[in-house]
Amino acid sequence: MKKLIQQICTTLDDSQDLILVTISSQSGSTPRLAGAKMIILRDGSIGGTIGGGQVEAMAIESAVQCFQTKQSKRQIFDLTNSMAANTDMICGGRMEIFLEYIAASDVNREVFRLLLDSIQSGHRITLVCPLSDTTEAEQRFVVNHRGIPSRLDISDGLLAAIKQVRPSTSAASLIEFEGKEYLLSYFAVAGTVYLLGAGHVSACTSEAAMRVGFRTVVMDDRVEFANKDRFPSADTIKVLDSFDNCFQGFEIDQDSYLVIVTRGHMHDMDVLDQALQTDAGYIGMIGSRKKRNAIYKKLMDKGFKEAHLDQVHCPIGLGIEADTPEEIAVSIVGELIYQRATGRKPWHLI
């Protein structure tokens, strides 16, 4: 999604209008799920995909009218009968797409620049677009991860309706407010992985996490370990004086994934103590069950409740009999992917 938003920003900066196509809803078996996006330029070229085939071809054809009228439109594809038969499509579902005309205006440049900035910083952001009367670019706006809209004239009622919808990884949502429909598109839920410790497992985990879209922040108190040579793909590397107050200066929220892989039990316990006092969406700690139980007992003696410790994924990673640092990294990142997609603990931890 980041590449698509970058392409939108570049296109608007070049003073070119475009059509943003979003699958606003779907049911049954369809080529892509709700939330999938593509852009169409005036010359018919595209970026992204909503599934290819006849559906995409018809969307490109409809975009011609959107460019001519400078208005957005909705379109429904029924893949259960004649259309599927005539195009050799065997999906058998129904999908609705929204073709959004986006003029190369200063307002739209600002909106999509905000989207890109949020994606690059690893924060959630919601794009809100009315599904009718969208000829005025000022009607499009974004709501950042703190729930703050990019426009000052958004009513409290509309903002409350937007906040009631729980964003998923990529799906779009339709809401109605005061007789008008709005399409909510969610972006930048890739998340940031904080690697507490810069050993071999951490190095492998950083590389694997980057490849599936996570941002990575590496922290350790050893400069010979926490450096760009060992972590070439890391977004941030911080050499600590100690692990005390290690999260100071970082915004730890529901899209933060804390992976505790320090070099010793005491460091792990100190970091876990601090991690449990954050709003992190995921906390995982490497180690055996024996180590876990010893650390948990000490933390409970300090006042933590069992409910606090139930948040922690320990031993960290999926149960795939991982042994080497590379295999352990795969198990950890697999668990992170599952958590990001569902917000739930993997089945083997339930």
pLDDT of residue 90: 47
Q: How is the chain split into domains, by residue range? A: 2-187, 192-349
Q: Is the pLDDT of residue 280 over 80?
A: yes
Question: What's the CA gap between 178 and 235, in Å, rounded?
Answer: 43
Instruction: Give tens-digit pLDDT for 43-74.
Output: 999 998 887 777 888 889 999 999 999 988 88
Distance (Å, whole) CA 126 – CA 199: 36
Confidence grade of residue 255 (pLDDT, cut at 50, 70, 90): confident
Residues 176-195 as b/e (b if ≥16 CB within 10 A, e otherwise) read eeeeeebbbbbbbbbbbbbb
Percent of the chain with pLDDT over 70: 86
pLDDT of residue 171: 62
Instruction: Using alpha carbons, select from 17, 58, 63 the residue that is nearest to residue 44.
Output: 63
- Residue 28 has a pLDDT of 55
**CATH no. of 192-349:** 3.40.50.720
Q: How far apart are CA 211 and CA 38, in angstroms?
A: 22
For β-strands 37-40 and 94-102, DSSP reports them as unpaired
Q: Apex CA 208: angle with CA 202 and CA 213, to 5°?
A: 120
Helices (H), the chain: 2-13, 53-69, 82-87, 106-121, 156-163, 200-211, 265-275, 289-301, 306-309, 325-342
Phi-psi region at 188: left, alpha or beta (left = phi > 0; alpha = psi -120 to 50): left
Q: Is 313 or 75 the better-scoring residue by pLDDT?
A: 313
pLDDT at 201 over 70: yes
Paired with 215 in beta bridges are: 192
CA distance 288 to 308: 19
| pLDDT at residue number 23 | 84
Q: Which strands form 18-27's sheet, in the order they lie side by side?
A: 46-48, 37-40, 18-27, 94-102, 73-78
The CA distances from residue 239 to 69, 196, 197, 224, in Å, are 56, 11, 10, 10
| Residue 133 scores a pLDDT above 60 | no
120-194-189-53 Cα dihedral, nearest 10 degrees: 80
pLDDT computed for residue 52 by the predictor: 72
Per-residue pLDDT of 135-175, as tens digits, reads 444 478 999 888 899 988 899 999 999 988 765 545 677 88
Of 296, 311, 300, 307, give the one whose Cα is nearest residue 349: 311
β-strand 18-27 against 94-102: which pairing, if any?
antiparallel
d(CA 344, CA 160): 25
